[in-house]
Chain A
């Protein structure tokens, strides 16, 4: 069980703001931290890691990490941290990166096998691809069998295929080691796949907290099938128009008529929806 109650004044996207977060996190759970940039997600993660000072209290099981002015240094917290830009030790091979944290060859071997990195054990980080680097970073974070694994947008620099693969590996590691995990992420599908709980921050405060489904499904309650996207182009084909729209990481075509085409401009933010596929019938009360 992790009890967090921290305050810190920081410079956000719109001037000064107060980070003020109170959370309690179950052991072995996987929490996603979401919210716009500048809302304090990364700062919260860094406070948990002991890399930044704050006021308040952090209790992990029966250890006090932060209590008023007393602050346990990052070296003594037993934390795994995965950075967005990997932060591997450039002068060491993959295996040495892992063993730097703890001289436990058996665990290093097990982690490299789980993430299919055994072949690359003696390579230097500079020779690896982004996805491989992030897997090494993930393994390194697991090396001291952390009480808490913190991940700061670990997959946002990777392409969609590599993301999927790594999401799967993060899940595998989570199942194998049962490490309590907090991950900052913007990607709804990633959050849905990985986390059991989503906490949304805005201006340093928690504005939503619940399971992935209830927080992420925006169209809850209305029987509408709806997506938001960006209008990339409108092409005229004979007498009709075709709009090309980017939704998430996919491109779709939608047929428009002349008046609709005139009302829309390339670059517009649009919603695409369909309704009444199946008429529904309900008895009205007299």
Chain B
């Protein structure tokens, strides 16, 4: 064998850690954002929707470059954080941001439409029962659309796992530090280590099959009465 097991484990663990944090961000930022965007009377809704959807349409490598300019040491946002000693570029944080930006539209868009399609009368019944909008969202709407939430989360995480373009720009593909599993395949092929690349692919195939199976279960339609 022309490679060591650490070349397999390190990228795999790094990727799992990244999508683990991305998953938390998607739940705690993505879900509230979907609710916010589903409001009918929202000012500048188009602007926010465009921003969220952009990574779906705009080439990832270009998004990565723009984020690099924005978050770099001298960047518009990055310079503030740099002053506090927080850096994103070539760090684990950069990988998380890359995965999160790529995954966000795939989480928010389906959830937004699931929330918009939720029957108005049921929400109104809760309001007249004295419950606030927030309480109604957490205890009625979310439990009712839980399958959509899990399905959207799975698809979004699959996207984050396969993310290369933005990750390359923000993470820098530093071997042993920011080489996620997808980048590790690229590196292995580049170095002519086809057996390592194949093994990494096999791991991704197993993960993808697991996601497919889970999706099949969760994508069954939800019914409201």
Chain A residues with a Cβ under 8 A of chain B: 49, 51, 73-81, 83, 85-91, 100-102, 125-126, 133, 140, 143-144
Contacts and interface: CB of A to CB of B under 8 A. Distances in A.
B132 interface: yes
Which of the listed residues B128, B130, B223 has the most CB atoms from chain A within 10 Å of its own CB? B128
B39 interface: no
Interface string B90-125: 000000000000000000000000000001011011
A70 B143 CA distance: 34
Nearest to B123: A87
B144 interface: yes
Size range of the chain B interface in the assembly: 10 to 19
B44 to A, nearest CB: 23
Nearest to A49: B128
27 contacts: A49-B124, A51-B127, A51-B128, A74-B124, A75-B128, A75-B132, A77-B128, A81-B124, A81-B128, A83-B125, A87-B122, A87-B125, A88-B225, A89-B125, A90-B144, A90-B223, A90-B225, A91-B140, A100-B126, A100-B131, A100-B139, A102-B130, A126-B223, A126-B225, A133-B225, A143-B129, A144-B130
A77 B225 CA distance: 27
Interface in B141-168: 143-144
B224 interface: yes
B225 A125 contact: yes
B122 A101 contact: no
A231 to B, nearest CB: 38
Contacts of A144: 129-130
Nearest to A150: B128
B126 A83 contact: no
A101 B124 contact: no
A103 to B, nearest CB: 11
Shortest Cβ-Cβ A-B pairs, 6 listed: A101-B129, A87-B121, A91-B143, A87-B125, A74-B127, A83-B121
